[in-house]
Amino acid sequence: MEISEKQKEFMREAIRLASESVSKGGGPFGAVIVKGDEIIAASSNSVTLDNDPTAHAEVNTIRKACAKLGTFVLKGCDIYTSCEPCPMCLGAIYWAHLDHIYYGNTRKAAAEIGFDDDFIYRELKVSLNKRSIPIIKMMTDEAAESFNLWRNNTTKIEY
Catalytic residues: 58
Instruction: Annotate the chain with DSSP letters as a single string.
Output: -PPPHHHHHHHHHHHHHHHHHHHTTS-S-EEEEEETTEEEEEEE--HHHHT-TT--HHHHHHHHHHHHHT-S--TTEEEEEEEPPPHHHHHHHHHHT-SEEEEEE-HHHHHHTT---HHHHHHHTS-GGGSSS------HHHHHHHHHHHHH-TT----
What is Dmax (Cα atoms) for the chain? 55
Residues 31, 84: Cα–Cα separation, whole Å: 11
